[in-house]
Amino acid sequence: MPSVPLLLSQAFNGLALGSLLALVSSGLTIILGTLGVLNFAHGALFMLGAYAIFLVMQATGSFILAVLAGCVFMLVVGVVVERLVMRLFYQRPPEDQILVTFGIGIVVVEAVRAVFGGNSQHVSVPGWGEGVTQLGFLIYPTYRLEVIGIIAAVLALLWVVLYRTSIGLVVRAGIEDQRMVGILGINVRRTFLLVFAIGVVAAGFAGMIYAPIIAVVPDMGDSFLVESFVVIVIGGLGSFPGAVVGGLIAGEIVSITSAFNSAYSEVMLYALMALLLVVRPQGLFGTEGRV
Amino acid sequence: MYQSIRRGGISRRRILQSSLGIAGGLALVRPGFAAERHPAIGTWPDGVSGDTAFIGITTPLTGPYSADGTDEQLGYELAIAEINAGSAIARKWGLTGKGVLGKTLKYKIADSQTKPNVAVQAQTGFIQTDKAIMITGCVSSATAIALEELAQREKVLNMVGLSGSNDTTGKNCQRYGFRSQPSAYMACKALAPVVGKAYGKGVKAAYLTPDYTYGHSVFDSFTDGVKPYGWTVATNQVVPLGTTDFSSALLNIANSGAKVFVNIAFGADAVASTKQADQFGVLKKMKLIVPNISSFQAKQTGADLMAGVYGTFDFWWTLEDRYPLAKDFVQAFLKQHNYHPRWGAHIGYMQTMIWAVSVERAKTFYPPEVIKTLEASKSNPYESSLGKVYYRAGDHQMVRPVPVVVGKAKSAMKNPDDFYNVVDVVSGEQLLQPLDDTGCHMGAYT
């Protein structure tokens, strides 16, 4: 039986891990919840964000500048992908959408591999995040502590934009009946574009925040794509609060289990997902019959 | 119905006549084939009936071990180019003329994605469609073992790529598989006295272990190796291959009260876990040991994190000062690729050279004869980039020196690839696991 301080430390780590998972999943759930598209390029876009910050940091040395430039870059990527490909697929069956996003993911990953190779790239922790912080019962990396705050702010902002302004309303109405919304004088296509681009920026932003922590390699998005799916299945497909709560639950499960035996931490995560699919298939915050 | 009557109508005399004619024709066209008098086996003789011989290569070009896999690929390509050109270096290894027994080597490389099933699928294709006479390449013991099983089943020789698990030449050993990399047992036996001396007796150590044959093998061998020094296990954090966030495992390690952190993770996992260990303050509290260091670890984490870290390698390029053939290899590689080859490239290069030499010694591609030649190499060792080496007949583990290294401080580096000092080169003979303890039971030749 692990000691109480260790359990407390792991519970705290679960919160930090969970907030990162919530951030990673948010991009996926925004696009799914509003546009109804399951974006299999999510992992690749996450990776693209990490490479963007790597490049700008090499050139400028500034983390904040790199994040800003990275977000602009991801916005452009989102707009280009939506205009060239995605807009043709909103009315197509889900399997077509999955195939096309999966294909976009492969193209992005292989393009990055062709340019940078398979070696991992080094992104340093920003100066203000270096070192460890003493929290009484545990010592924790300063950067990860700050990241919890950054993520909370970003998720709150995303929620306000998507669900407390008319954008989300327009998109959801547009999915129900695009023509009717158009007749009401609203430019649905532009709103779709905006939401898709926000989802892409969210995925890229998660990659940027994660870049100083993990190995920046072309395949880095693969495992995050899978974890994001687990998180949004737990939280409820397409539900934004679901992604946040699902992320936190996933983080706690992985972390607390590893206090007992780290080999079982992923198993427990998938076990919970399987259990949830049996007793509450729509997830914690999902609505039955609607994505 | 009509056809079967017609077939029945062919006379016995006619069949005899035609088969004699075919046999005679074969004897005229390919005297070598007829003279060898072996029954066909695996892809032999079909794979070498023309003027080429095909090698099937699988390396992970994607996935957590892709950096090592890409390096490995370049090693294979260099060796094959030298062999086909009949270069001066190839002659120093003991080859004569261009190609192997006069046949030009052809090859294809498939991306195994660091997954055993993908590697097996690709090599099965190479065996069936390209009639590969030899298969090789991997950066994971799970893949190595799967390919060895395929080789044994298909009776096609497998010169194992990167694989450190004891099982590769232990309980999963195969007659058709040969491994040049030191086993975990050998590496840890070479490393233990060095770290025992550096850090003293009775040390508490924390371990991060990838959850598959390689990780468990290295954990067992390392803890065995440091037992004489009274080292104890403070915690062993077992994590899946391809983990990206090690925070919860590192938190347990940080709280374990250990003085030494033994990181068994490999490839991109090693880079990520070492970076994160630094962020959790683990590297300030504990001395890091990496029993088997990934090819590009120091380059990817930055030299600072690896300075003072002890570990072993299959090969480190400064061994060129000790072995003339290592110098030839390193310089040829450097000239072509503009960086010093790592040990992934070295294994690809060395295993290809030694296979080619063995075929020429056996004077045939017939796999059982090549295997017997490799098994008899103790009495006739190979001249190699690690000096004289041979394979032990009982488990097909190469008996070769093992370099123990320590990471250099950034300020002490003489060039961008000068990450390590070789502190010891331990002779292979004294590192071998007793054959009875390996659990190896060889399969059949035919």
Q: How far apart are CA A189 and CA A174, in angstroms?
A: 9
Nearest CA among B143, B150, B137 for reference residue B117: B143
Mean pLDDT for chain B overall: 92
Nearest CA in chain A to B271: A215
B contacts of A141 (beta carbons < 8 Å): 276, 279-281
User: How many domains does chain A divide into?
Assistant: 1
Q: Distance from CA of residue A60 to its chain's centroid?
A: 26
Instruction: Read off the pLDDT band of B7 (50, 70, 90).
Output: very low
Class of domain B185-312: alpha beta
Nearest CA in chain B to A139: B280
Q: Determine whether the interchain pair B269/A215 forms a contact, defined as Cβ–Cβ distance below 8 Å.
A: yes
Q: To 10 degrees, the CA torsion angle through B294, B259, B422, B228?
A: -110
Mean pLDDT for chain A overall: 91
Residue A213 forms contact with B (CB below 8 Å): yes
Q: State the pLDDT at residue B1.
A: 37
- A23 in a domain, yes or no? yes
Nearest neighbour of A125 by CB, restricted to B70, B237, B279: B279
Please, is B327 exposed, middle or buried when counting C-beta atoms within 10 Å of its C-beta (0-12, 13-18, 19+)? middle
Q: Determine whether the interchain pair B248/A259 forms a contact, defined as Cβ–Cβ distance below 8 Å.
A: yes
Q: State the pLDDT at residue A163.
A: 80
Q: State the pLDDT at residue A288.
A: 63
DSSP state of B139: B
Q: State the pLDDT at residue B2.
A: 40
Residue B13 in this model has a pLDDT that exceeds 60: no
- CATH assignment of the domain containing A93: 1.10.3470
Residue A218 forms contact with B (CB below 8 Å): yes
Per residue in B375-403, pLDDT (tens digit) is: 999 999 999 999 999 999 999 999 999 99
- A119 in a domain, yes or no? yes
Q: To 10 degrees, the CA torsion angle through A88, A94, A98, A101?
A: 20
Pairing of strands B420-426, B382-384: unpaired
Mutant choice from A13, A21, A230, A262 vs B, greatest count of B C-beta within 10 A: A262
Find out whether B115 and B242 touch, Cβ atoms under 8 Å: no
Q: Which residues of chain A have pLDDT under 50?
A: none
Nearest CA in chain B to A256: B248
B contacts of A136 (beta carbons < 8 Å): none
Q: Determine whether the interchain pair B247/A144 forms a contact, defined as Cβ–Cβ distance below 8 Å.
A: yes
Nearest CA in chain A to B281: A132
Q: What is the domain extent for residue A195?
A: 4-279
Question: In angstroms, how far apart are the furthest CA atoms of chain B?
Answer: 88
- A238 in a domain, yes or no? yes
Residue B344 in this model has a pLDDT that exceeds 60: yes
CB-defined contacts A:B, below 8 A: 116
Beta bridge partners of B312: B292, B404
Beta bridge partners of A178: none
- The residue ranges of every structural domain in chain B are 47-182+318-400, 185-312
Per residue in B59-117, pLDDT (tens digit) is: 999 888 999 999 999 999 999 999 999 999 999 999 999 999 999 999 999 999 989 99
Q: Do domains B47-182+318-400 and B185-312 have the same CATH topology?
A: yes
Nearest neighbour of B66 by CB, restricted to A118, A140, A265: A118
A contacts of B266 (beta carbons < 8 Å): none
Q: State the pLDDT at residue A33.
A: 83
* Mean of pLDDT values over B3-20: 50
Q: What CATH number is given for B47-182+318-400 in this structure?
A: 3.40.50.2300
Per residue in B178-216, pLDDT (tens digit) is: 999 999 999 999 999 999 999 999 999 999 999 999 999
DSSP state of A124: P
B29 vs chain A: nearest CA distance in angstroms? 46
Residue A165 forms contact with B (CB below 8 Å): no
Spatial strand order of the sheet with B398-399 comes to B382-384, B387-391, B398-399
- Range 15-54 of A in CB contact (< 8 A) with B: 16-17, 20
Residue B28 in this model has a pLDDT that exceeds 90: no
Nearest neighbour of A6 by CB, restricted to B247, B255, B296: B255
Residue A263 forms contact with B (CB below 8 Å): yes
- A289 in a domain, yes or no? no
- A262 in a domain, yes or no? yes
B50 Cβ partners below 8 Å, 6+ apart? B103
A contacts of B243 (beta carbons < 8 Å): 223
- A286 in a domain, yes or no? no
Question: pTM for the whole thing?
Answer: 0.86
Min mean pLDDT across A135-144, A172-181, B39-48, B127-136 is at A172-181
Residue A10 forms contact with B (CB below 8 Å): yes
Q: Determine whether the interchain pair A132/B281 forms a contact, defined as Cβ–Cβ distance below 8 Å.
A: yes
B contacts of A6 (beta carbons < 8 Å): 251-252, 255
Per residue in B289-316, pLDDT (tens digit) is: 999 999 999 999 999 999 999 999 999 9
Q: State the pLDDT at residue A3.
A: 84
% of chain A residues with pLDDT over 70:
98
In a 13 Å sphere around the CA of A50, the CA atoms on its Cβ side amount to 32
